Amino acid sequence: MNLKVDIKEGNRETVVFLKGEVDVYTAPTLKESLYPLAEQKEKKIVVDLSNINYIDSTGLGIFIGALKATDKSNSTITICGANARVKRLFEITGLDEIIEIVSDQREEV
């Protein structure tokens, strides 16, 4: 499966829409899109996972790396729209305690 990344710059935030699967094969695509945003100063990033049905450990690692980059750049990253299965991965790994996860993008806009 492929991963499609669509980035929308808004007035208050940048939304990264993902579609497909995030795994060892597609993680580099996510990294190339997400890390440069996370490294920008005082950026508010929302990653919409509404159209993602699978994330593996490599994909979770990309989110950890992006979170570390946002810490250095005084930016924030929020995940929204994750289905129950994907959200459970964040909970099992404890990432839900260090990355803000909301159920719907509209909570952030």
Q: Which sequence spans correspond to the domains of the chain?
A: 3-107
The pLDDT of residue 97 is 95
Query: How many CA within 13 A on the CB side of residue 15?
Result: 17
pLDDT band at 45 (very low <50, low <70, confident <90, very high): very high
Structure tokens at 104: 């719907």
pLDDT band at 105 (very low <50, low <70, confident <90, very high): low
The three-point CA angle 8-96-63 to 5° equals 50
Of 13, 80, 22, 91, nearest to 49 (Cα)? 80
Q: At residue 108, does pLDDT exceed 50?
A: no
Of 80, 101, 92, nearest to 56 (Cα)? 92
Q: At residue 109, does pLDDT exceed 50?
A: no
**Fold of the 3-107 domain:** Transcription Regulator spoIIAA (3.30.750)
